[in-house]
Amino acid sequence: MAAGSAVPVPASHLDAARDAEAATVAANAAMAARLPFADTADFESASRGLIAPVPDGLVLAASGTVLWNLGDWSFIDGEAAPATVNPSLWRMARLNRANGLFKVTDRLYQLRGFDLANMTVIEGDSGVILIDPLTTAEAARAALAHYFAHRPKKPVIAVIYTHSHADHFGGVRGVIDEADAKAGKVEVIAPNGFMEAVGGESVLAGLPMIRRAQFQFGALLPRGARGQVDAGLGKAAARGTPGLIAPTRLIVQPVEEHTIDGVHIVFQLAPDTEAPAEMHMFYPAFGVLNMAENACPLLHNFIPLRGSVVRDPRVWSRYIGDAIRLYGDRTEVMIGQHHWPTWGRAAVLDRLEAQRDLYKHIHDQTLRYMNRGWRPAEIAEAIDLPPGLAERWSVRGYYGTVSHNVKAVYQRYLSWYDGNPCNLHPLPPAPAAAKLVQYMGGATAVIARARADFARGEYRWVAQVMKEVVFAEPANEEARSLCADALEQMGYQAESATWRNAFLYGAQELRHGVFQLPPRFMLSGDILAGLSTDVLFDALAIRLDPAKAAGHAFQLNWRFMDRDEEVVLTLRHSTLTHRLAERSDRAAASVTTTRAALDSVILRKISVQDALASGAIKIEGDVAKLGSLFGMLEQPGGLMFDVLTPGAGRR
Ligand SMILES: [Zn+2]
């Protein structure tokens, strides 16, 4: 295999990683003894229908840069897990190595292992329908080329986005042209609320989400038995160029039926489940049910570690139940937009019922304990999957965990606050840590005790207490190193890929510092163009520096010629508010422009001054007010902010 690693961090970081401690070896052995490793049906399903693997295991940029290299995971071979990997996670890491073009049924194919998600291809009468064009144009282009290398080359008639997460739409520009979508030559179909969900989830809090996603996916961890082995949903998220083409048709009814290029598709909306806008599909002619990302062979997240608005497991469970009722008696194969299919009606129903009950069980039992006054961390320890579920591979916590899903349920109903007023107004992390460590007799004394606990295998506690020493004394190398060692053992024991990645990446940042990525603008032009003007003005409002805005009060009228929209923007009390479809008589100035021009200013492709000079932005009234407003907006901060240490300005 040609080519190097697709990970931009030195593999030598693994040299600092320690081996599994005795307690980790014992914990992983206990897990291996408890789970049904004799049941290997998933391995047959994951390889069934393989036509050809990903060519050379590679996705390259046009420049030749390696963006994706399945060879990075070639160390994952053999049934026996290394001592540094949880054996259940090792099993999933092996399964997720299956890759290539797969035939599911006549006229229905899947491309797996080009990215985190799958691209599904349905062969219509005259062309192909693509479902979920991966995260990046490069990944989607490579996947489609691989399909055409083995199947008749036909035009793309339609693209369907199952939901609003970037691994399911971001590569669309690699497979269709926007002009064809606008001209009606290619349909782009999405669930109702798709564009609002894309903007709502990933824009206003987008930057910290990207930073936190580094921990969830381990993107900056070297691959290896002491590093990243998997991401739960697949091997990793693709690198390359993300984009978005807006849907040309939305599915708005709870169930809608359409025939697209001769293929009858029944769409079932499932909003507020794994994504705010999501839908399942049933293809009656093939007997195939596509559950999008709502019934993966694992426990999914009620909140992913990257952060999100809390999902609703009650509704999620109900939509799975609806799919069983609507399509259960006609389904022969279930597919998803991650992982491998399930063949056979009985097996499909069994899997769906387990997923339905999994999400409902965690929801209900968390509330049962909440109603007895239990606190989040206590409930997280108390709840386990019940018999009948616990021993099934398809509900294991490779991505979500019972522990953090319990906390998500608590947050959904009762907030972050556990109700104890002692927790209502504590000191912030750094000053609290300084006091704690001082009370405990100073850093040296704390580290000495923690070393003894480390030797006893009490890694959770060691990480918890070393966090205090690191926050009290961020430069204390002994504390950082012991904290890293404890996190690392927790990573080696974690069944969840996202937990493993978070623990190991935390250890890496403590040992080697924060990896400095080259600066880049976090918001893609496509996502910005796709934002409603309503959300766009909120995206500007969250950048207002209140000190710079203090004492200013004015209104600006905006008219966007390309969208036929009007907005009144009001600055008062160091706060920006806006009203759509209104115009003020008392505005200091009236701006006439296009959304395209404003987007260019926000993306810093042109300055306000240049836009004014070129006439891209026209102002009547007090011309200085626009520049004054932009002068009050903070530029987005750097991505690689401190996570494991207090961070400047936050002591
Ligand atoms: Zn996904």
C-beta of residue 308 within 8 angstroms of C-beta of residue 264? no
pLDDT category of residue 516 using cuts at 50, 70 and 90: confident
Query: Residue 632: its pLDDT value, please?
Result: 97
Is the CB of residue 275 less than 8 Å from the CB of residue 304? no
Residue 500 alpha carbon to ligand 1 centre in Å? 19
pLDDT for position 1? 38
Give the pLDDT confidence of 146-200 residue by residue, as tens digits.
Answer: 999 999 999 999 999 999 999 999 999 999 999 999 999 999 999 999 999 998 7
Q: How far apart are CA 134 and CA 175, in angstroms?
A: 10
The rounded Å distance from CA 274 to ligand 1 centre is 9
Q: How many whole angstroms from 498 Cα to the centroid of ligand 1?
A: 14
- Ligand 1 centroid, distance to 241 Cα (angstroms): 17
pLDDT at 535: 93
pLDDT at 8: 76
Query: 79-88, 309-318, 401-410, 629-638: lowest mean pLDDT where?
Result: 629-638
> Could you tell me what percent of the chain has a pLDDT over 70?
99
- pLDDT of 517: 80
C-alpha to C-alpha distance for 528 and 595, rounded to whole angstroms:
10
CB atoms within 10 A of CB 416: 9
Give 290 Cα–ligand 1 centroid separation in angstroms: 13
Q: Strand ranges (DSSP E) for 233-310?
A: 249-251, 255-260, 263-269, 279-283, 288-290
Q: Which whole number is the average pLDDT over 370-384?
A: 97
Fill in the DSSP letter of residue 15.
Answer: G
Q: Which pLDDT band holds residue 16 (cuts at 50, 70, 90)?
A: confident
Q: What pLDDT shows up at residue 521?
A: 65
Calculate how far, in angstroms, residue 174's C-alpha sits from the geometric centre of ligand 1.
Answer: 18
Q: What is the mean pLDDT of residues 291-319?
A: 97
DSSP 216-240: HHTTTSPBSTTSB---SSSS-PPPS
Buried b (16+ CB within 10 A) or exposed e, 349-371: bebbebbbbbbbbbbebbbebbe
Residue-wise pLDDT for 271-301, tens only, equals 999 999 999 999 999 999 999 999 999 999 9
Q: Give yes or no for residue 368 having a pLDDT over 80.
A: yes
Tell whether the model's pLDDT for residue 224 goes beyond 60: yes
List pLDDT tens digits, range 591-636: 999 999 999 998 889 999 999 999 999 999 999 999 999 999 998 8
Q: What is the 13 CA–ligand 1 centroid distance (Å)?
A: 29
In DSSP terms, 342 is beta-bridged to: 334
Q: Give residue 2's pLDDT.
A: 43
Give me ligand 1 centre to Cα 134, in Å. 9
Instruction: Look at residue 102 and tell me whether its pLDDT is greater than 50.
Output: yes
Segment 45-67 mean pLDDT: 97
Compute, in angstroms, the gap from residue 636 CA to the centroid of ligand 1: 27
pLDDT digits (tens, 9 = 90+) for 319-352: 999 999 999 999 999 999 999 999 999 999 999 9
> Long-range contact list for 474-478, CB < 8 A, 24+ apart?
474/645, 474/646, 476/443, 478/443, 478/447
**Distance from the CA of 476 to the center of ligand 1, in angstroms?**
39
Mean pLDDT of all residues in 545-567 = 97
Cα-to-centroid distance, 200 and ligand 1 (Å): 17
- Separation of CA 315 from chain center: 20
Q: How far apart are CA 130 and CA 109, in angstroms?
A: 10
Enumerate residues 6+ apart whose C-beta is below 8 A from 433: 467, 468, 469, 470, 471, 472
- Between the CA of 246 and the centroid of ligand 1 the distance, in Å, is 18
% the chain with pLDDT above 90: 92
Distance of CA 132 from the midpoint of ligand 1 (Å): 9
Cα–ligand 1 centroid distance for 6 (angstroms): 20
Q: Cα(233) to centroid of ligand 1, in Å?
A: 7
| Residue 261 CA to ligand 1 centre (angstroms) | 26
Model-level pTM? 0.96
Distance 165 CA to ligand 1 centre (A): 6
